[in-house]
Structure 1
């Protein structure tokens, strides 16, 4: 130990910090920040911890959800914690009804478009408050990542400045899901429910937000999915890779659609596309229709997988809007490792048969976390004091954390103190890499 190192009154070293201490302190002070500012940063993204965790989470969820159905009585476990997280969306649905634009508010002097814009921005402000307060209620009190998770979640519903929504917002929700597992809020048993229940709630809410406020959809022109989201199609193909009652080419058949659209994400999305755009799938989404011409669902998945990596996860226009912090870190991984691919359909069954003799906990079918757990540094290790046990946070620390939340919101415009201090009165103004090691 450095003999010149100084100590505070409680005996904790407060000088000569390590790299880990400096990193943890920076996260505490700055909060989530944007990291992709030039095309050169795409190479850093490919080597980042966040990228590897994102790929691992997508692959693990794809493998876990195959053969499961989305029904009113799901055939997968739904924990109490998962139900609490779903309640966040109940509140957001209620806010959407409460702040829907009213026809009587529009007239010659105030066009309908301006009414929708104003209503959307009001909903966004209330959504900010709702997300942070409900996360605080839903998540166990000793979690130190509520603010980071809240930042990811609140950026999942579009942009109140540009009035659009796209893959960057969906990626933020994917960061939110991944972060829930990284910090231990959700466990291995929640993997299927997170993909088929919580993510489905998000998809349907965003669909309503777009329809209510007439938001524009942004996407890469090379993307094969002409929609605000991509993952429901990717995971929808994975879901159908085992025990599918129909082939990819039967998706647009009316009988198949009516019988199974409540159970499968892929059919739910296709049904919405056809109804909202008024035409057959071959007319309203030709590239998707072409992908569905292959004979098996694992083949559909591989085609969608490559397109998602090339035209979403490595789209500069998408990544420049994404924020990173402690759970989803932009720092390079310390030990590069080969990512396990998502084995689907017959490949999954073959590997399962070959692993029957493995020890418990080693088999492919054994429940495991979709991403690695993140061990957060305790505040006393870099703040120089010991945090009182059994206490969540003081009012002062809560206010400090809200300061950087407001600073982040101010970058987008439209932020006001009332978003984070609801009890106070304030004046409001209105193909670099391919699933690298995951290819077939």
Structure 2
């Protein structure tokens, strides 16, 4: 994707297709160049926030700001599609499908707005990852696979030069944090069910990355220890400064009442 232009770009552009259909397909994926580059991005972003608090003053480039504004607009849509009466049903408010239908209708234009003229053809490749970043409209659920889709979307934008290395810190502590805020809004507004069952083996049913990048933020601190996240007062104190504690605070205050 990176460095492709002109006629060669048109030939190279193709709609992504799912190739990981079973656990046996993972071996090929884990040996691929795409996987290596994807993990390199995750680790690079992890390194960018080592010892950095979320509340620090971080410069934001126009393109990162554009992406943040997009997520902000998507969150405002929840006010236009309020939850419907669910009766005794615990999960899956069908109003989410109206929100998602609008996302599907406008996604092309949303992505177009992030790309330069010569890269707009790549919207075909970006679209599936973008749409899959916000959950499944049929099941009305969300899980770490959807979170991974958003990371792949970020990865593609980096490959296209929309985001650059100097954006790394703001990608984590501004754009990704805004994404998490949006996802939590969707989860609570539409009572989204956790996707799959793997979340029971982690701290959270829905997210994974906040714990990885949040732990990087904690490197070098001299006060917090692993058991600190079990203490609600400490969690609340540090939730605005750190992605890890922010995620725990969300579990403590919101997830338990869903």
TM range (shorter): 0.7 to 0.9
- Cα distance in 2 for partners of 1:80, 1:172 equals 23
Among 108, 113, 116, the residue aligned to 1:140: 116
SS in 2 for 1:76: coil
Structure 1 runs, 4 residues or longer, greater than 6 Å off:
21-24
Partner of 2:231: 253
- 1:181 and 2:165 aligned: no
- Cα distance in 2 for partners of 1:148, 1:244 equals 44
1:59 CA drift (Å) = 1.1
Partner of 1:80: 62
SS in 1 for 2:133: coil
1:268 CA drift (Å) = 0.7
1:64 CA drift (Å) = 1.0
Q: How many residues align?
A: 249
SS in 2 for 1:34: coil
- 1:267 and 2:249 aligned: no
1:42 CA drift (Å) = 1.4
Among 72, 85, 88, the residue aligned to 1:90: 72
2:94–2:190 contact (8 Å) kept in structure 1: no
- Cα distance in 2 for partners of 1:23, 1:36 equals 25
- 1:213 and 2:190 aligned: yes
CA RMSD of aligned residues (A): 2.6
- Cα distance in 2 for partners of 1:196, 1:175 equals 17
| Structure with the bigger percentage of helix | 2
- Cα distance in 2 for partners of 1:150, 1:94 equals 21
Unmatched runs of 5 consecutive residues or more in structure 2: 1-6
1:221 CA drift (Å) = 6.2
- Cα distance in 2 for partners of 1:217, 1:115 equals 9
2:92–2:193 contact (8 Å) kept in structure 1: no
Partner of 1:37: 21
- Cα distance in 2 for partners of 1:98, 1:277 equals 23
1:76 CA drift (Å) = 2.4
* TM-score (normalizing by structure 2): 0.86
- Cα distance in 1 for partners of 2:173, 2:110 equals 21
SS in 1 for 2:173: helix
Partner of 1:101: 83
Indicate how the Cα distance of structure 1 residues 40 and 258 shifts in structure 2: closer, same or farther if over 3 A, else same: closer
SS in 2 for 1:33: coil
Structure number, greater radius of gyration: 1
